[in-house]
């Protein structure tokens, strides 16, 4: 496969629907890193290493030195938003980063101005967009997005593009007839079907234009049958969904450890307080349900209660999210975990995670943009499950349960990179180091 991976030459355009706290934090961070003012902490593509061959070979190159990824100096940013603030203005209002660092990259941020967004208030009732597209049908809106994509590519002299959804969580909907085939979906666009969301229109436009698409929110988007089929037909990578940042990140780290030690769990109560636009949107019950469904499946898929009923069959899992404006982007989560051990004796674990949501999400957006671009250059198309590492609710092939264990996800990601470059996959078996000794006994 190594010979199939084309080099990352030329400019890469990274397009983001939703230039809010997450997207602007990522853009500002990249610009600061390029000036030597910050480090890309949390970015696997920039700071991660990968082991190659046997442990005795001591080969641990940086991932960005092992595979051909776009250089940060070759990235051009763009996007859409329901407000017309440029990235500097939007980042200043989000108040994630300090004014000093923002001012150090102010000219670069001011150059990134949002295009008019596709917006449907029925999907995000707590927002009022004033910088939005108009059209007779949703198909008209999709055509306008396609023109935006083409114009951006030409005006910025980009050789390649990727799109990462950084917009708000849309209200909860389930797969319907309009989502089943490409024909039914396109008919729905022309007929303004209410079950076609803005995020789906962006995904359709991206895939149609040959642009890889990753979904960073829990919305039903590129995981509908019609868009999965379109991605395969057009040979375009897709991935999702919902960036794995705060509380769920901790669950995918801790739950595998408890499961590995065969420790039982009676209950796991999780609650959050957060402000900013994300908290405001999730204050609506319909939008919260979309997030809740995304977060609830994590423990069940890791612990598999049906297979281990004596340990997890009575697990009670509760999630709460509360809008609290004073916290802004500084999300705080509490977890109370009631576990039991030898002979059923009870114990407790309590976690108070004071995180910064956009600080955790920004490197995910960067990594997804670079890895999705790599996927396309490697000739990979359709669902990119190897990128599950970055998502709360990883998209998988129909009928296949997702893998939520972050350590297994990391192995899958790294082995995919090794496979791309013709290196041996690593199983961590290790018997070859001792086999000679075993045979002599």
Q: Which residues pair with 62 in a beta bridge?
A: 49
C-alpha torsion 260→261→267→273, nearest 10:
-60
pLDDT value of residue 295: 64
pLDDT value of residue 106: 98
CA angle (113, 118, 121) in 5-degree steps? 120
Tell me the pLDDT tens digit for each residue of 361-400. 999 999 999 999 999 999 999 999 999 999 999 999 988 9
How far apart CA 167 and CA 101 sit, in angstroms, is 24
Sign of the Cα pseudo-torsion (391, 392, 396, 402, in order): positive
What pTM did the predictor assign?
A: 0.94
Q: Are 275 and 329 within 8 A, CB to CB?
A: yes
Q: Are 353 and 333 within 8 A, CB to CB?
A: yes
Tokens of 278: 């994300």
Place of tokens 């190594």: 2
The pair phi, psi for residue 387, each rounded to 5°, is -95, 15
Q: Residue 433 contacts by C-beta under 8 Å, 6 or more apart in sequence? A: 54, 55, 56
Instruction: Tell me whether residue 113 is exposed, middle or buried, using C-beta atoms within 10 angstroms of its C-beta: 0 to 12, 13 to 18, 19 or more.
Output: middle
Q: Write out the H or E segment, with its range, that includes residue 215.
A: strand 213-215
pLDDT value of residue 437: 52
Tokens of 284: 């609506």
pLDDT value of residue 294: 64
Q: Which residue numbers in the chain have pLDDT < 70?
A: 291, 294-295, 435-441
Q: Report the percentage of the chain scoring pLDDT > 90.
A: 83
Adjacency order of strands within the sheet including 75-81: 115-116, 75-81, 11-17, 158-165, 213-215, 237-240, 382-383
How far apart CA 33 and CA 107 sit, in angstroms, is 15
Tell me the pLDDT tens digit for each residue of 227-254. 999 999 999 999 999 999 989 999 999 9
How far apart CA 84 and CA 211 sit, in angstroms, is 24
């Amino acid at each position: 496969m190594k010979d199939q991976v084309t080099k990352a030459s030329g400019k890469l355009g990274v397009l983001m629907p939703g230039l809010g706290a997450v997207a602007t934090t990522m853009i500002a961070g990249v610009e600061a890193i390029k000036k030597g003012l910050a480090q890309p902490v949390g970015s696997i593509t920039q700071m991660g290493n990968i082991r190659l061959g046997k442990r005795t070979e001591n080969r641990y190159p940086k991932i960005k030195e092992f595979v051909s990824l776009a250089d940060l100096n070759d990235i051009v940013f763009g996007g859409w938003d329901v407000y017309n603030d440029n990235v500097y203005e939007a980042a200043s209002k989000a108040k994630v980063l300090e004014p000093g660092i923002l001012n150090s990259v102010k000219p670069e941020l001011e150059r990134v101005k949002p295009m008019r967004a596709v917006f449907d208030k029925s999907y995000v009732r707590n927002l009022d967009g004033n910088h939005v597209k108009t059209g007779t049908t949703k198909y008209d809106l999709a055509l306008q997005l396609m023109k935006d994509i083409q114009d951006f590519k030409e005006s910025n002299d980009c050789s390649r593009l990727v799109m990462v959804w950084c917009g708000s969580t849309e209200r909860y909907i389930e797969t319907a007839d309009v989502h089943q085939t490409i024909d039914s979906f396109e008919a729905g666009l022309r007929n303004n079907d209410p079950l076609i969301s803005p995020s789906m229109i962006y995904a359709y436009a991206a895939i149609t234009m040959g642009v890889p698409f990753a979904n960073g929110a829990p919305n039903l988007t590129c995981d509908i049958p019609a868009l999965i089929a379109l991605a395969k037909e057009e040979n375009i990578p897709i991935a999702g969904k919902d960036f794995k940042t705060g509380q769920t990140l901790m669950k995918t780290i801790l739950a595998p450890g408890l499961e590995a030690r065969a420790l039982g769990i009676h209950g796991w109560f999780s609650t959050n307080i957060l402000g900013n636009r994300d908290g405001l949107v999730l204050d609506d019950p319909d939008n919260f349900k979309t997030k809740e469904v995304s977060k609830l499946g994590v423990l069940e898929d890791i612990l598999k209660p049906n297979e281990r009923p004596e340990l997890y069959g009575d697990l009670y899992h509760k999630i709460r999210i509360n809008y609290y404006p004073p916290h802004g982007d500084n999300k705080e989560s509490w977890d109370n975990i009631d576990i039991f051990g030898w002979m059923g004796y009870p114990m407790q674990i309590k976690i108070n995670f004071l995180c910064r949501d956009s600080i955790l999400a920004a490197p995910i957006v960067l990594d997804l943009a670079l890895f999705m671009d790599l996927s396309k250059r490697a000739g990979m198309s359709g669902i990119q499950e190897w990128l599950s590492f970055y998502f709360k609710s990883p998209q998988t092939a129909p009928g296949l349960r997702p893998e939520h264990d972050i350590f297994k996800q990391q192995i899958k990601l790294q082995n995919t990179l090794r496979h791309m470059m013709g290196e041996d996959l690593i199983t961590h078996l290790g018997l070859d180091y001792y086999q000679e000794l075993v045979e002599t006994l």
